[in-house]
Structure 1
Amino acid sequence: MSHSKYDYSDIQGLKEKGESEEAAVKVNPTDPESIPKFVDPLPIPALAKPVNRCDDLEQERELFYHIVMKQTKHRFHRDFPLTTVWGYNGMCPGPTIEVRKDVPVKIKWENRLPDKHIFPVDHTLHGTMDTPDVRT
């Protein structure tokens, strides 16, 4: 079920569902002048939470984080559709890792990105023919 009141099939002018072309909301992502400014709250990334234990912790007070890189959806502006992005722990921007001075930290980075890149990759460029779209 879509909660959006906009029809994103026409990228040149978002229109409310059921409205005629003449009543289209004049927001065009390619025209900065048509985009309402300062309408979204400032995004404040969530704090990453340590998962506490790691098998190879060197010290009792060492913090361990597990961050997963994966494809997700993000809305960059209230009047834009959801966009496919690569983020951390399902967020874009990713979480903030907040630590104190002199407290050791270990982070396990887990790559769950898809094999196919979200943007076209030109395999005619030198050195790209035999390389995967997404390098890990």
Structure 2
Amino acid sequence: MKIAEVCEKFGLSQDTLRYYERIGLIPRVNRNKSGIRDYTEENCRWVEFNKCMRSAGLPIEVLIEYVTLFQQGDQTSQARKELLIEQRKLLKAKMEDMEKTIGRLDDKITRYEQAVVVKEKTLKRSEE
């Protein structure tokens, strides 16, 4: 699959894909005789994985570490698992913080809505 097709499939720019490749987030992408990238299904799985993890907020450094460990083989499976468990813990903590923030925003929005209702009642009484 050509780079443009991969970009369209995953909604990423060519610059992003090249960057991911350059820093090692996508293991080696083959090139044809003309030097044009030819993404395999495996490459695409890495693109999808990295896009998912990045959109969740995982740092690039963590993903680089994960891919590096993966490339070292099965002997690193426990280290990879621990890395993923740690990232899950961090994401859950972040989600809890976000839920608290959403609660505070909901409270504030409710107060604004209540203030508008009071103001409208006051205006209606003054019109009568």
- Normalization by structure 2: what TM-score? 0.23
Q: If you compute each CA radius of gyration, which structure gives the higher value, 1 or 2?
A: 2
- Normalization by structure 1: what TM-score? 0.22
The structure with more helix, counted as a fraction of residues = 2
